[in-house]
Amino acid sequence: MPDRIIAIGDVHGCSAAMDAVLAAVDPRPGDTVVALGDYVDRGPDTRGVLDRLIALGERCRLVPILGNHDEMLLDIVSLRPSLLSGWLSFGGDATLASYGCTSPEGIPEEHIAFLRSCVSWHETDGHFYVHASYLPRKPLNKQPLDVLRWESIRDNVPGPHRSGKVAVVSHTSQKTGEVLDRGHLVCIDTWVYGDGWLTALDVDSGRLWQADKTGRMREQ
């Protein structure tokens, strides 16, 4: 069986959904899993999500991309405490609760080190992967980080990228629970922390796996 490239959308602390999706995907050593970011905040088990991602990196090739929520946490850890109140209201309170602590100082260094190891983008022969969005005319290594991590595509879907490759993104939650497929762009954030699903996509075959925040798989 050929090696696969599997993309996974925003997890947001929903470890039960991640467990169910990974059990269904069953990554093999030759597979590549591209996690599109926002591992922390909003859901109940950020700690469990990061534990699972670290373990996944020992099972197959894991390419973790940094999301805007992950970036906020790292900014606070990097001695920008003025951001703390904003982060807490942005879902950070759920992250601290998962660790049983009242400040980011209580988060294990292993988890902070994992977030610091995350990349801004990833590229393969036919696709590229970013957390949020991109500028169509700029090469990936020239993209502004605020676009890659923060820009919503809800009202502004970018056009085809100059590379001709298909963009696989997350960040902009599809409240319908359905993947947004524009041909040149696929968005797989399907609102797991709300009433939607965590989506995993086999980018070559188009196969989907989806689970809700309780771990219930969706029939495809």
* CA diameter of the chain: 51
pLDDT tens digits in sequence order for the chain, 220 residues long: 789 999 999 999 999 999 999 999 999 999 999 999 999 999 999 999 999 999 999 999 999 999 999 999 999 998 788 889 999 999 999 999 999 999 999 999 999 999 999 999 999 999 999 999 999 999 999 999 999 999 999 999 999 999 999 999 999 999 999 999 999 999 999 999 999 999 999 999 999 999 999 999 999 8
Buried-state track 72-106, b at ≥16 Cβ within 10 A, e below 16: bbbbbbeeeeeebeebbebbbebbbebbeeeebee
Question: Is 153:135 a contact under the CB 8 Å cutoff?
Answer: no
Which one, of 116, 99, 129, lies nearest residue 54 by Cα?
116
Which one, of 48, 49, 46, 51, lies nearest residue 73 by Cα?
46
Exposed, middle or buried: residue 195 (CB in 10 Å: 0-12, 13-18, 19+)? exposed
Total residue count of the chain as it appears in this document: 220
Instruction: Give the pLDDT of residue 220.
Output: 81
| pTM of the model as a whole | 0.97
Domain at 5-211, CATH homologous superfamily: Metallo-dependent phosphatases (3.60.21.10)
Strand partners, 89: none
Structural domain boundaries in the chain = 5-211
Cα–chain center distance at 134: 16
Instruction: Give the pLDDT of residue 79.
Output: 74
Q: Which amino acid is at 102?
A: T
